[in-house]
Amino acid sequence: MFTAQQIALLINAKIEGDASITIASFGKIEEAQNGQLSFFANPKYEDYLYTTKASIIIINNNFILKQPIDATLLRVEDAYSAFATLLGKYQEMQTQQLKGIQQPSYIATTATIEENVFVAAFAYIGENVIIGNNVKIFAGAFIGDNVHIQDNTILHAGVKIYADCKIGKNVIIHAGTIIGSDGFGFAPQQDGTYKKIPQIGNVVVEDFVEIGANTTIDRATIGSTIIRAGAKLDNLIQVAHNVDVGNNTVIAAQAGISGSTKIGKNAMIGGQAGIVGHITIADGSKINAQSGVSKSMTEPNKAVTGSPAYDYTSALRSQAAARKLPELEKRVKELEKMIQQLLSVEK
């Protein structure tokens, strides 16, 4: 149980209402009940603000109520961000309680395990692995030889990290993700077969990265595939060998990035987007869902859409024009008919 006063301290909020009221869980504003905390940030949900049974609501400082409500309000600069912070604290409290090594699990004698580490049953930790403080490794995870995992990182169930990869601090990798599988490298032979090119590099995941479930990040042929600090990758993404994903870039589900492509910082890549290899994506680029990017984007903060992808605004204009084609065809035929009539009169 937490009081409004305690929660306000965590998110630096101003209290409107009963500071001693308590909550035990969270709820969506349209469904929350007494004893639950919710938040209001999207204007589309304003009607629920006045009917919800939530005991505490996190709300923006500048929002003006149209009618009184019973809930205690916690006023903050950004309700959505504050709610995310609060959920993070709650989750952290739950995972901090996990410590120790469950059995059966395998830990090589040459591995180094620091303090307050949790290793769940059926995990495998290979030779010369270094596990930092407060790392949580859940059931069925595989950590190959010479892997380094820094403090406060969480590996969920079934994560596989191949040999020699490096994982930074405060990283979260969700279930089923594979880090360091071989890059897709094959040399065509004269007889029509393909000769495998050994992939001897690794993957480097820097600090504060989050990677969704069942994503695959291939090891470099030589050197490193790099996911830089603050990047966020959704579920079911393919990142090929020697790709470099910039700081704080976000990539939505089912996107695919081909080998040796360099993506700048603060880029946004929509779901099912495809990016060819050996190109550069500038800082702040926005790639719409299902777009196919076939050449470098060198201008920062530019948005593209379509396949092949091109300027977002121009694409929308083209789509609007395409919808008018039947009407334009009709008008052209009418004009042709009028011209024929005028020519007939002149004769």
Euclidean distance between CA atoms 63 and 49, whole angstroms: 12
Residue found by looking up tokens 């303090």 in the block: 115
User: What is the rounded radius of gyration, in angstroms, for the C-alpha atoms of the chain?
Assistant: 27
Could you say which of 156, 174, 241, 278 is catalytic? 241
Tokens describing residue 252: 């939505």
Comparing CA positions, the residue from 317, 173, 157 lying closest to residue 233 is: 173
Residue 93: is it exposed, middle or buried by C-beta count within 10 angstroms (0-12/13-18/19+)?
A: exposed
Q: Catalytic annotation on 241? A: yes
Euclidean distance between CA atoms 329 and 4, whole angstroms: 64
DSSP state, residue 43:
G
Q: Under a CB-based contact definition with an 8 Å cutoff, are residues 157 and 140 in contact?
A: yes
Tokens describing residue 59: 């709300």
Please state the φ and ψ torsions of residue 131, each to the nearest 5 degrees: -115, 120
Beta strands across the sheet bearing 118-119 = 100-101, 118-119, 136-137, 154-155, 172-173, 210-211, 232-233, 250-251, 268-269, 286-287, 303-305, 310-311
Amino acid type, 209: V
- Name, in order, each residue with C-beta under 8 angstroms of 179's C-beta and a sequence gap of 6 or more: 159, 160, 161, 162, 165, 167, 173, 203, 205, 211, 217
Euclidean distance between CA atoms 216 and 205, whole angstroms: 13
The catalytic site residues sit at 241
